Amino acid sequence: MDKKDIKLSNANIVKINKKFLESLENYRKLLKIMGGDMPIECLCLPKKSEKVLISYGFLRIYDLINADFSKVEGLNDVAMRDLTSRMDQFFSMG
């Protein structure tokens, strides 16, 4: 094996390693989303906030991930901060 082959081999290893790390990151994201397949009651939100979210069809935690809350009436700033905080706590456990 000459130096050229070794350089190609190292470049391939770096490329493979980079692809592997990208795949691993995608896998982590997927697991977090799959972990969100739980009822919103798991977030232990105040009952008022929980009822409002359920009335708008947010039944599972993953329903909340990319939701547009500007159309949800009944959630004030405090409730939104609480919801955001609880979701952060939930996903940081994984």
Model pLDDT for residues 34-88, shown as the tens digit of each residue: 776 889 999 999 999 999 999 999 999 888 988 888 889 999 989 999 999 998 8
CA–CA distance, 81 with 48 (Å, rounded to integer):
14
Contact predicate 61/45, CB 8 Å: no
CA–CA distance, 74 with 87 (Å, rounded to integer):
18
pLDDT band at 4 (very low <50, low <70, confident <90, very high): low
- pLDDT at position 94 is 55
CA–CA distance, 41 with 69 (Å, rounded to integer):
18
Residue 58 dihedral angles phi and psi, to the nearest 5°: -85, 90
Position with higher pLDDT, 74 vs 32: 74
- pLDDT at position 43 is 93
